[in-house]
Amino acid sequence: MVSLDWNYFIPLFAAMAVFLIGMFAYNAKKKDNE
């Protein structure tokens, strides 16, 4: 059961982390342009 939960949560957490990092990078780039 634990391995099943991890198989579901790890990709979800990874996707969330990539999204947050991308948003942070986008905001930093946007600020740099202004």
Convert the pLDDT of each residue in 11-31 to its tens digit: 999 999 999 999 999 999 988
What is d(CA 30, CA 7) in angstroms, rounded to the nearest whole number?
35
* pLDDT score of 7: 85
The two tokens of residue 32 are: 């740099």
What is d(CA 25, CA 22) in angstroms, rounded to the nearest whole number?
5
Note if the pTM is more than 0.75.
no
Tokens 């942070």 sit at which residue? 24
* pLDDT score of 31: 85
What is d(CA 7, CA 31) in angstroms, rounded to the nearest whole number?
37
What is d(CA 29, CA 18) in angstroms, rounded to the nearest whole number?
16
* pLDDT score of 27: 94
* pLDDT score of 1: 58
* pLDDT score of 22: 97
* Single-letter amino acid code for the residue at 23: M
